[in-house]
């Protein structure tokens, strides 16, 4: 997110949703990363198994 992709979005203009583009760029990647982790968690076949002690 920071390097090298942030250099693509490191601009003050245009404004998106009232935010400078660089701030929007960081928030966008945080949301994309969260959705990717959520998707991978749901696809994990071991998440529903119970541990046996």
Length of the chain counted residue by residue: 53
pLDDT of residue 21: 79
Which spans in 1-53 are helix H? 5-9, 21-43
The pLDDT of residue 1 is above 60: no
pLDDT of residue 11: 66
CA–CA–CA angle 3, 8, 31 (5° rounding): 75
**Distance (Å, whole) CA 24 – CA 34:** 15
Each residue of 6-52: pLDDT tens digit?
Answer: 676 666 678 888 888 778 878 888 999 999 999 998 888 787 777 66
Structure tokens that stand for 34 in this block: 């969260």
pLDDT of residue 53: 63
pLDDT of residue 2: 59
* Residue 13 φ then ψ, to 5°: -115, 150
pLDDT of residue 43: 87
């Amino acid at each position: 997110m920071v390097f090298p992709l942030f250099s693509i979005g490191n601009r003050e203009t245009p404004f998106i949703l009232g935010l400078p583009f660089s701030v929007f760029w960081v928030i966008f990647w945080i949301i994309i990363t969260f959705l990717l982790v959520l998707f991978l968690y749901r696809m994990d076949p071991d998440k529903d198994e119970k541990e046996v002690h």
